[in-house]
Chains A and B, each alone.
Chain A
């Protein structure tokens, strides 16, 4: 009895995964293709989830739709075009470069460029600001004395004297 229970418990992880894909196509190749496509599509209800991982009702419906269109023999691009014509570029996690998405695509690089030029400008300016302090003869002499003093001392850590 005890062993049977343990054996059953060991089987639990097998079922744990079942919750993720309650709606599966019979054909595993097609299911894999569908998941591959859906991973790059956004779920419109829970917007930061992909269509592949979302549990929302709409995502389930859209997965079914994608599956059916695949069964009909449509190509991945045709299916993506269909969804974009319904839901807009927003469904794509990888939106196309267009007039409206220029800022999205190139904005970060523009900001990086601005930041880098400001940094370079500031660093250049800084170079001219730092002037080597000129020492008077008296100060030079004293500095030389101090340097000699430390050189004469045995090379020991300072706190060992305490």
Chain B
């Protein structure tokens, strides 16, 4: 009997590791930016390209920074959530149009609605690199001091929004 126990224990450990591995998403790379100041940038606004937006304008506010693009299919799935969130007026959502054409982005927002307080264009994807963006959509929660408190990679789901993002936003706003 005893001779079967050890192989079984080894099998169980291996199976546990493999099972956990199945549930992990290799595309979710832990971001070293969480807890660090959001990298500074100045970018032209999507609707008024002659006007610039810079990170300093956001001091003292808790806000969501959503990186999206008109060519990104996952963005279409998370978009209704942001539409709903903007109606509730809980937290301002700023969008960054990543590696996109202006006309395409405008057409996309006409079709799906515009939940953003303001949209900036990162046509070349340079600010994206500063933010460690490697797959759109990505969403950041930035606090009043301009520190990144949370980063979500991929489309935001209802669960992520209600269980992680919104409680965090409320906590940060109360500070």
Smallest CB gap from A47: residue in B: B26
Contact A58 B134, CB 8 Å, known A86-B32, A88-B30, A90-B29: yes
By a CB distance below 8 angstroms, the chain B residues around A84 are 32
**Distance (Å) between the CB of B50 and the closest chain A CB?**
25
* B29 near A65: Cβ-Cβ < 8 Å: no
Our pick among B26, B29, B129 for the contact of A88 (Cβ within 8 Å) is B29
Which residues of chain A are within 8 angstroms of B33 by Cβ–Cβ distance?
85-86
**Chain B: which residue is nearest A84 at the CB level?**
B32
| Cβ contacts under 8 Å, B44 to chain A | none
A47, B132: Cα distance in complex, Å: 15
B interface secondary structure, majority: loop
Is A57 in contact with chain B by the CB < 8 A criterion?
yes
Given A85-B32, A86-B32, is A45 in contact with B125 using a C-beta cutoff of 8 Å?
Answer: no
- Counting chain A residues whose Cβ lies within 8 A of the other chain, the interface size class is 10 to 19
Query: Could you say which of B32, B124, B134 contacts A44, with CB atoms under 8 Å apart?
Result: B134
Interface residues of B in 103-141 (CB under 8 A from A): 124-126, 128-132, 134-135
Partner of B134, one of A65, A85, A87: A87
Is B31 in the interface zone, CB < 8 Å from A? yes
Q: Give the bracket for the number of chain B residues in contact with chain A.
A: 10 to 19
Contact A45 B30 (CB under 8 A): no
Q: How many A-B residue pairs have CB under 8 A?
A: 41
In the complex, what residue of chain B is closest to A61 when comparing beta carbons?
B125
Of the residues A57, A86, A90, contact of B130 by C-beta under 8 Å? A86
- Residues of A with C-beta under 8 A to B126: 61, 65
B131–A86 touching, CB < 8 Å? yes
B31 touches A61 (CB 8 A): no
Q: CB < 8 Å: which of B29, B124, B125 contacts A58?
A: B125
Residue of B with least CB distance to A43 = B134
A102 to B171 alpha-carbon distance, docked (Å): 35
* Complex contacts, A57 vs chain B, CB 8 Å: 99, 125
Nearest 5 A-B pairs (CB), nearest first? A44-B134, A86-B132, A88-B32, A90-B29, A61-B125
Q: Would you mind naming 19 contact pairs between A and B with Cβ atoms under 8 Å apart?
A: A44-B135, A45-B134, A45-B135, A47-B26, A57-B99, A57-B125, A58-B125, A58-B134, A61-B125, A62-B129, A65-B126, A65-B129, A86-B32, A86-B33, A87-B31, A88-B29, A88-B30, A88-B32, A90-B30
